[in-house]
Amino acid sequence: MIYCCAVVNQPELLNKIQSFCSEILFVQIEGIFSQLDDSIQFINTKTIDLTFFESEINNQSAFPFYEKYKSVTHAIFIGNDKSKAFDAYNVEAIDFLDVEFDFKRFVQAINKAKKTIDFERSLSKFEDTFLLVRSEYKLLKIPHTEITYFETLDDYIKIHMLGKKPVLTLMSIKNLLNKLPSQKFIRVHRSYVIAIHQIVSVRGKIIDLGICEVPIGKSFESEFYKMYLKQGF
């Protein structure tokens, strides 16, 4: 199943998208928004594989918006200015559809999306040993053994690794935790998730990870110390 949402202002266009999606068994629309800003929390916290964007909503271009959030969803843009197809290409969208698209052309775009999404899902078999994230237009596969800790920065996650430059990816901490095996990583603070195997020592409410020290938040103390004792540190 491909889980989608639509950020479309024109009712006729939205009805067309919904109608065509209902004809494709593996496509399901999870959310509908008429304004770009209204979709931010939904896109960033839900598992949305594909978003249909009207290329311009109330004189606001959707391309810069998608540029910021493209690490968490793929996109198909729709508009009446065919020259905007170049903008869609530049932000690495799946496709650009003219507003007069028919069902055949819609299915073609959906199949392109499915091919990309299926490939990314096939990589998920490595998630027991690797973390897959999007950063700077690339899909990165980071070995769990190289990760020291994660730091939240507003809507982004900063991944700190041994001997390597940190990686910044757009992701909520909830989605991050869903991707990580609980036997290897634990949240110790509202701003930090650490790799258990990187713990050097614990002094009071401070965890020494070798390359830095991370505080233990009050609401995470119980779970952390339970794990700490169980691991036999």
Quote the pLDDT of residue 105. 96
DSSP state of 219: G
144 lies in the same domain as 221: yes
The parent domain of residue 201 ranges over 127-231
136 lies in the same domain as 179: yes
206, 199 Cβ separation under 8 angstroms? no
Mark which of 98, 124, 150 sits at the end of a domain. Answer: 124
Which CATH number does the domain housing residue 87 bear? 3.40.50.2300
Q: What length is written for the chain?
A: 233
Low-confidence ranges of the chain (pLDDT < 50): none
181 lies in the same domain as 112: no
Per the structure block, which two tokens stand in for 182? 């609980």
Which CATH number does the domain housing residue 225 bear? 2.40.50.1020
Q: Within a 13 Å sphere around the CA of 23, how many CA atoms are in the beta-carbon half? A: 11
Q: 161-184 pLDDT, tens per residue?
A: 988 999 999 888 888 998 898 889
Cα angle, residue 97 at apex, residues 40 and 100 outer, rounded to 5°: 120
Q: Distance (Å, rounded) from C-alpha 176 to C-alpha 107?
A: 32
Quote the pLDDT of residue 232. 60
Per the structure block, which two tokens stand in for 135? 């950063």
Quote the pLDDT of residue 134. 85
CB atoms within 10 A of CB 126: 12
One-letter amino acid of 214: V
Quote the pLDDT of residue 167. 95
Q: Distance (Å, rounded) from C-alpha 152 to C-alpha 207?
A: 17
Quote the pLDDT of residue 126. 63
DSSP state of 216: P
105 lies in the same domain as 24: yes
Quote the pLDDT of residue 127. 63
Quote the pLDDT of residue 2. 95
Mark which of 124, 151, 183 sits at the end of a domain. Answer: 124
Mark which of 69, 104, 124 sits at the end of a domain. Answer: 124
95 lies in the same domain as 134: no
Cβ neighbors of 221 (< 8 A, separation 6 or more) are: 205
Per the structure block, which two tokens stand in for 173? 């901490």
What is the count of structural domains for the chain?
Answer: 2
181 lies in the same domain as 204: yes
One-letter amino acid of 182: S
Quote the pLDDT of residue 161. 93
From the centroid of its chain, how far is CA 226? Answer: 30
Strands of the sheet containing 74-79, edge to edge, are 27-33, 2-7, 50-54, 74-79, 95-98
Quote the pLDDT of residue 155. 83
